[in-house]
A and B are shown apart, each in its own frame.
Chain A
Amino acid sequence: MSKRLKGLLTPVIAVLLGILVGTIIMLASGYDPVAAFSALWNGVFGDIYSFGEAVRQITPYILAGLAVAFAFRVGLFNIGVEGQFIVGWLAAVWVGVAFDLPRAIHLPLAILAAMIAGALWAFIPGLLKARFRVHEVIVTIMMNYVALHVTNYIIRNVLASKSGDKTDMIHESASLRSEWLQSLTDYSRLHWGIVIAIICCFIMWFLLERTTRGFELRAVGFNQHAAHYAGMSVNKNIILSMLISGAFAGLAGSMEGLGTFGYAAVKGGFTGVGFDGIAVALLGGNTALGVFLSAILFGVLKVGALNMPLEAGVPNELVDIIIALIVFFVASSYMIRALLDRLSKKEVK
């Protein structure tokens, strides 16, 4: 079996295994698996509206995945993407609400604000790591809570509209929404963000693989001692990687603020996008292309699953379990690859 064939076969088998175990669970609990999985499929590919929604959902997943992956390549575990995502979301909406500018200035400004907010939020753990070797996992987790409650406070007390727990709608000039994309997809909430996300995949690839800066960042990720020996500044690269990672996360937040919703609301808890970003990144092997593909898988499952209770009567809890199973099997693709290796060895003998 060729290497390429194995690479293609592995995720397919993983998804099939996930479906298989999901089927067993559904049969055991008295639901119709055929109806459930066709509901999942229809939830994404059944009509153009759902498809548009899936693409919309994929957008923040790509960016959150890139954020985690970028830090990971430099040897840092940025668990704080969720927090950076939330502050990015609020910063984008704030600029979107507070200013009245031509679109060519307003939209980029709002996006930039989100990136800066996310980057600053990630700068603190980056600085603490570089200066005092404080572990970034601890700091970023704590920063998530700070982000959640600080943004809630600002929304309630500074930016709240009359209803009290969310901001006003952003001005049209700061919006990522597109009449054209919406009309194409039967008025889903699809917006221009997906284009930005794809461009960011390219930027991430280029930055890491093709530039001297990326050469340094990856070297620091692989071997800090050798990077230091070679004259690279380890601390500078650690901080920089957190800044860029945070900027990606903030950008992901602006997708929700400027695209999907157009406002920011008080949140009872985390959105989960930042945490899903960890899974997206690891599943995608922390490469730009890998993140893009695994974000598609996550987005499709997430949106398609919404249709399972409606069309097949499967309870939400079971839907979550089935999604988790599919992701589990994809993530344990190492197991499957080992199995394929063994099979192909037998063929030779």
Chain B
Amino acid sequence: MDYVIEMLNIRKEFGGFVANDNITLQLKKGEIHALLGENGAGKSTLMNVLFGLYQPEQGEIRVKGQPVNITNPNIANDLGIGMVHQHFMLVDTFTVTENIILGREITSGGRIDIKKAEKEVRDISERYGLAVDPQAKISEITVGMQQRVEILKTLYRGAEILIFDEPTAVLTPQEIKELIQIMKTLIKEGKSIILITHKLKEIMEVADRCTVIRKGKGIGTVNVSETNPNELASLMVGREVVFKTEKKEAHPKQDVLEVNDLVVKDARGVTIVNGLNLSVKAGEIVGIAGIDGNGQSEFIEAITGLRKSESGSVKLNGKELINHTPRKITESGVGHIPQDRHKHGLVLNYPIGENIVLQNYYKKPYSKNGVLNFKEIYKQAKKIISEFDVRTPSEYTLARALSGGNQQKAIIGREVDRNPDLLIAAQPTRGLDVGAIEFIHKRLIEQRDNGKAVLLVSFELDEIMNVSDRIAVIYEGKIVAIVNPKETTEQELGLLMAGSNRKEAGEGTHV
């Protein structure tokens, strides 16, 4: 039999809403099969059907040619299907080995035989080139390593078919490269992979075939070698997609944000922003490029008041704002699209409508004499939802229930609508599909064209190169170079980000 997994004409409804409509996915043995679709297209639903979390209304699932009835995840496990979740399911205070054997402990005489387990974990790790230390604590290893632990978990349980759910969303470029290598090794060892993603570049690089779904419907399966990113994007979105963001020449004016000699310590008390200087002018987008962990997160937290600064100066329109409260900074005209939308951006248990006024609830017309005016709140919410194309059943739906892309659009709508002089966007398109990314980039450029200052932080070099008018490279807590995106290359940026100085890196002109 050719196929290890066949999902034939799957249909899944939730109340009258059709999440999957007649979708077919056939996975060959030893291939990497991409599942491509926009946020909310039904990719996760389909995989949850395969994993036994949902029961389909129609359709058939076959494993190695045999029809199966997967009613819970244990059955999926027994059939050799393993899922590497986007949000890791790990116990932080346990070691790698403890996490991997959790639920499948090797015991001898009622005690866990940790030595034997560690050896087994090390063996699997070496076989697939994962290079994981079985004795390390989860809380002490990087996100990329944590993901490998998730992979190990499925392999330890004897998975033959691995589902990767948006695996690169949380990784740095270097880690992505390593992950792709790991996937290739897995295939060599006879595993089959379903890769859920909306990153076309990765599909082109690693996948053999690609099944596209759009708004719950199966669009078709294509051979990756016979297609190109443009075709995939239009299949996914249902229209032509512009990759290169169109924008006019920037007309920078006066300085809006001026940061001088800023020093910030991280949670462990280590100086992570170390004398940073940067200015952002009205009418320009400054992109901060850098490898994760060089102080960009702490820098953003410091200038938005979420973290204490040790010394230096942060001026907005000439007014000193260092170590002011987040409210004071917000009211001075700063909008902040936070890096972690679940941690900072939203109260997930509040309706999306109430999240829209998260910073403005105490102002008129949203409240009067301390009493909330829900009519006005939801009126505003409706406006943002329609203007920013937030797809939600209603404005009363809990933020938790929205897909990541729609949560992000709601946050961006909220921040842009307040019309701040300085808009800070930290990883605004992380985990989003091309359609949403295009939309968000347009909005950022629109703010710039309206004469606002925009500060963009991103780990995606494409995004930085595309959207910014000036690129500031951050390395070890300092801005080490400022380059013009038109006069630089990804290579040069990469070298600068890695700490080599400008002359070695090439000929970027100082702007």
**Number of chain A residues whose Cβ lies closer than 8 Å to a Cβ of chain B:** 19
A205 interface residue per 8 A CB criterion: no
Q: Give CA–CA (A227, B327) in the complex, Å.
A: 10
B-side interface size class: 20 to 34
Q: Give CA–CA (A227, B338) in the complex, Å.
A: 13
A222 interface residue per 8 A CB criterion: yes
Decide: A229 and B345 in contact? CB cutoff 8 A: yes
Decide: A222 and B350 in contact? CB cutoff 8 A: yes
A332 interface residue per 8 A CB criterion: no
Decide: B347 and A222 in contact? CB cutoff 8 A: yes
CB distance from A218 to the nearest CB of B (A): 8
Decide: A226 and B372 in contact? CB cutoff 8 A: no
CB distance from A244 to the nearest CB of B (A): 14
With known contacts A229-B306, A231-B330, A223–B348 Cβ distance under 8 A: yes
Which residues of B are found within 8 Å of A222, using beta-carbon distances? Answer: 347-350
B475 interface residue per 8 A CB criterion: no
Decide: B325 and A231 in contact? CB cutoff 8 A: yes
1/0 contact string of B362-378 vs chain A (CB within 8 Å): 10000100111000000
Residue in contact with B372 in the complex, picked from A210, A231, A233, CB distance below 8 Å: A210
Which residues of A are found within 8 Å of B328, using beta-carbon distances? Answer: 231
CB distance from B358 to the nearest CB of A (A): 4
A212 interface residue per 8 A CB criterion: yes
Q: Give CA–CA (A348, B358) in the complex, Å.
A: 41
Decide: B343 and A231 in contact? CB cutoff 8 A: no
Decide: A226 and B346 in contact? CB cutoff 8 A: yes
1/0 contact string of A202-234 vs chain B (CB within 8 Å): 000000001111110011001101111111110
Which residues of A are found within 8 Å of B326, using beta-carbon distances? Answer: 228-231
Number of A-B contacts (CB under 8 A): 62
B433 interface residue per 8 A CB criterion: no
A-side interface mostly: helix
Residue in contact with A215 in the complex, picked from B338, B343, B372, CB distance below 8 Å: B372
Q: Give CA–CA (A110, B361) in the complex, Å.
A: 36
Q: Max chain B CB contacts within 10 Å: which of A223, A226, A227? A: A226
B354 interface residue per 8 A CB criterion: yes
B336 interface residue per 8 A CB criterion: yes
Q: Give CA–CA (A5, B347) in the complex, Å.
A: 30
Which residues of A are found within 8 Å of B344, using beta-carbon distances? Answer: 225-226, 228-229
With known contacts A228-B306, A228-B326, A229-B306, A212–B345 Cβ distance under 8 A: no
CB distance from A305 to the nearest CB of B (A): 38
Instruction: Report which A residues bind B (CB closer than 8 A).
Output: 210-215, 218-219, 222-223, 225-233
20 extra interchain contacts, Cβ-Cβ under 8 A, other than A218-B350, A226-B358, A230-B359?
A210-B372, A211-B367, A211-B370, A212-B362, A212-B371, A215-B361, A222-B348, A222-B350, A226-B343, A226-B346, A228-B306, A228-B326, A229-B306, A229-B326, A229-B338, A229-B358, A230-B358, A231-B326, A232-B327, A233-B325
Minimum-distance CB pairs A-B, first 10 = A231-B327, A229-B344, A230-B358, A222-B349, A231-B326, A212-B362, A225-B343, A212-B367, A222-B347, A226-B347
